[in-house]
Amino acid sequence: MRFFRLSLAAISLVVFALASPVAAQSSDAAKGIAAQVDRQMPELTATYKQLHQHPELSHFEEKTSAYLAGELRKAGYEVTERVGKYPDGSQAWGVVGVLKNGSGPTVLIRTDMDALPVTEATGLDYASHVRSQNPQKQDVGVMHACGHDLHMTALIGVARELAANKDKWHGTVVLVGQPSEETIDGAVAMLADHFYERFPKPDFILDQHDTNDYATGHIAIGSGPQLASATSVNVVFHGIGAHGSRPAAGKDPVVMGAEFVLLAQTIVSRQIDARDPAVLTIGTFHSGTKNNIIPDEATLGLSMRAYSEAVRQKLLDGVRRTANGVATAYGVSADRMPDVTVAESTVPTVNDAALAERMRKAAEQALGAERVDASTPVMGSEDVGYFSLDGKIPFVFFWLGAADPQKLAEAKKTGVALPSNHSALFAPVYEPAIRTGVTAMTAMAMDLLKK
């Protein structure tokens, strides 16, 4: 027994001696990336503030895309602008930068570019004061309230790191500046413009998104669903208008809509398996013009979330059945059943398990294991998943922490959440977040492209 233990010890020493040079090289490379990123930080900080102060709404990212394209060209990438075509035939502001470095895998890294119709209330000295018109021609404030300015800054940093370290990897890098993520039609628009015919089709896809759910300086990564599908549905109830004093003379769509609001909640609670996450939210209810007039129609706007297509379809079928059932109960004729239409939708964001584990290890080498957290799936949505072609291309999305660690700890203690993405008060602790995002993404890409 004693001899057996000695043999195991000897074997362990041999294995360590053989493995340690590789481990040391990997660790040294990771430290090298971090050191190079530090040297970029003054310029990247200026870039972040520049982008934050000049946001543009979805479908109108003209100056933003030109800025990103210019930075990629400076880094040595072959850049194509105006990539993407919307259903109405208009051209999108997508940007694609390609850097070829011999034979090997192709890695696609994506950033979003658009801002939100939010009036910034952070009070920061680099706050946005931009105003614009939304699609409804209303005057609105414009803000990078979802951190796309930070995503673009990180992509620029990654572009420079990969270009400066071509001796350490081989293959092709495709960097994508995607428009219109907030309206979840930018990725589809780029694919509709023959994206994978015009540019190298990737073997792997990487993406990151900042959040106040994790401390700045950390990332969070996991396998399986990370974000839900999103389906926006409009339901129109057709009634019969009448004077408010004579409700029996009409068929009141407001009452139908009100009953539908309550019944629709049971689609999740009573028709969806409790083990399958699902959300159904009714966000708008519009009807009528005057207090004493029963209107002809009522229009409701719904948002549905799910991690699978099967659950999404159950939600949609449930909405149709419930709306028709309410209308039938109020005596609406068969030819005037409610209109149920899908306004917009996007697929869930699902990480490839094997690739997620590999990227977690690469991030731990670059950042340290203590700064790589396990991600928790959320019911928010993205459209980046379209680039994976229904999971045919291995894909990994990870969270980039942006919260002050002390404030985050206090928020968890008190239960009072920090301002989140889409809030007028959203203010990432940007410098460590940028440094972490560039370091982690560069390390991941170089691991996939390593010689």
Q: Which residues contact 103 (CB under 8 A, 6 or more apart)?
A: 170, 171
Distance CA 431, CA 418 (A): 18
**Does residue 371 carry a pLDDT above 80?**
yes
**Does residue 358 carry a pLDDT above 90?**
yes
Question: pLDDT-derived band of residue 1, with 50, 70 and 90 as boundaries?
Answer: very low
Alpha helix ranges (H) inside 144-279 = 148-164, 186-192, 195-198, 253-271
pLDDT tens digit string along 147-169? 999 999 999 999 999 999 999 99
Question: pLDDT-derived band of residue 28, with 50, 70 and 90 as boundaries?
Answer: low
Look at residue 135 in the predicted model and tell me its pLDDT. 84
pLDDT tens digit string along 287-310? 999 999 999 999 999 999 999 999
**What distance, in Å, lies between the first and last C-alpha atoms of the chain?**
43
Look at residue 113 in the predicted model and tell me its pLDDT. 98
Query: What is the rounded average pLDDT of the residues 109-136?
Result: 96
Single out the residue of 106, 189, 182, 225 nearest to residue 386, CA to CA.
189
Residue 349 dihedral angles phi and psi, to the nearest 5°: -100, 110
* CATH number for region 20-228+349-448: 3.40.630.10
**Does residue 320 carry a pLDDT above 60?**
yes
HEC readout, 40-57: HHHHHHHHHHHHHHCCCE
Single out the residue of 282, 304, 283, 270 nearest to residue 379, CA to CA.
304
Per the prediction, the chain carries an average pLDDT of 94
**Does residue 438 carry a pLDDT above 90?**
yes
Q: For residue 229, what are the β-bridge partners?
A: 306
**Does residue 7 carry a pLDDT above 90?**
no
Look at residue 6 in the predicted model and tell me its pLDDT. 39
Look at residue 315 in the predicted model and tell me its pLDDT. 98
Query: What is the rounded average pLDDT of the residues 214-237?
Result: 98
Residue range(s) occupied by CATH 3.30.70.360 in the chain: 229-346
Fold of 229-346: Alpha-Beta Plaits (3.30.70)
Look at residue 198 in the predicted model and tell me its pLDDT. 98
Q: For residue 326, what are the β-bridge partners?
A: none
Distance CA 236, CA 339 (A): 5
pTM for the predicted model, two decimal places: 0.90
Distance CA 400, CA 434 (A): 9
Query: Using an 8 Å Cβ cutoff, are 363 and 372 in contact?
Result: yes
At 394, list the tokens. Answer: 């291995």
Query: What is the rounded average pLDDT of the residues 331-356?
Result: 97
Higher-confidence residue of 24 and 405: namely 405
Look at residue 3 in the predicted model and tell me its pLDDT. 35
Query: What is the rounded average pLDDT of the residues 36-50?
Result: 96
Query: Using an 8 Å Cβ cutoff, are 401 and 362 in contact?
Result: no
Which single residue is written with the structure tokens 């409701």? Answer: 300
Look at residue 26 in the predicted model and tell me its pLDDT. 54
Q: Count CA within 13 A, CB hemisphere, residue 36.
A: 21
Residue range(s) occupied by CATH 3.40.630.10 in the chain: 20-228+349-448
Query: Using an 8 Å Cβ cutoff, are 51 and 67 in contact?
Result: yes
Look at residue 397 in the predicted model and tell me its pLDDT. 98
pLDDT tens digit string along 96-113? 999 999 999 999 999 999
Q: Which residues contact 422 (CB under 8 A, 6 or more apart)?
A: 116, 118, 145, 146
Q: Which residues contact 305 (CB under 8 A, 6 or more apart)?
A: 228, 229, 230, 231, 277, 278, 279, 280, 379, 381
Q: What percent of the chain has pLDDT over 70?
A: 93
